[in-house]
Structure 1
């Protein structure tokens, strides 16, 4: 079984919240299917496609960077990256944990997405723009660290696609079973 879930902003990528602070929404808030586990992660402050499966081999194939499944992100960044910033992302960026693999990146028009709750802070004096970024590795907070490294911090991050699986037609907080 493979489930495509549109993870809302602020939802933990696990079924239980082990923090001692106020309770936060988890996958259990949305998915009542026994025996499935996330194939990869999305940060609390990221949104979009999360795949869950009950098949350990499939989970590894999706999540393990050795298989290099391309992951497509729609990224709202602060400022307007010039060609040098985009070229740096395309070459790979030096982060504290080493060089990233080259990314495919292009500027795009603002996508027609659902409103984020809470909304991204709007600042009249600071422009923003959207990028489509495709990675073939999955380091911790990698997209955010890469855009910050080229001078354009991420404001909103939505994972749209993993390999052949897409978020198309799945509203935030909803899921559907998809073909393997």
Structure 2
């Protein structure tokens, strides 16, 4: 009975790590080259992600060092109004990157008082990006690309407003 309690006390992250290591060892018994290649690909991906996350956490540290919570709340908090919507939508258009890079940063902004509705608008607009526009126009044409971009911008506002209403009990 004691060993069952001890296993339950192990954090989920460690359980996952132990399971993955055991799976690699199991596969290595049957096909060592396959396990070695899989591990090397994992290590390569892991170090790419770690480099990016170190950059993000460094950026978050600098933001926390120089930008006061009051400033963030003023521009993106409850009373930010149209200015907050503008910053959220414009910021999402010009900030690009994979979600695992943006989520820690946005989570930190949320802790500092950014409205949920603005975070929703930011996340909705990630695909309206100046770097994607030429490629979209090449494959889908100018009219399609412009109309889709306008729809994404419009619906990001609507989705943000709805989420603000659901999460805060009132719309911004």
TM tier, smaller: under 0.3
More helix by share: 2
Q: With structure 1 as the length reference, what TM-score do the two structures score?
A: 0.23
TM-score (norm 2): 0.24
Structure with bigger gyration radius: 2
Q: Which has the higher contact order (CA 8 A, sep 6+)?
A: 1
Q: Which has the higher strand share?
A: 1
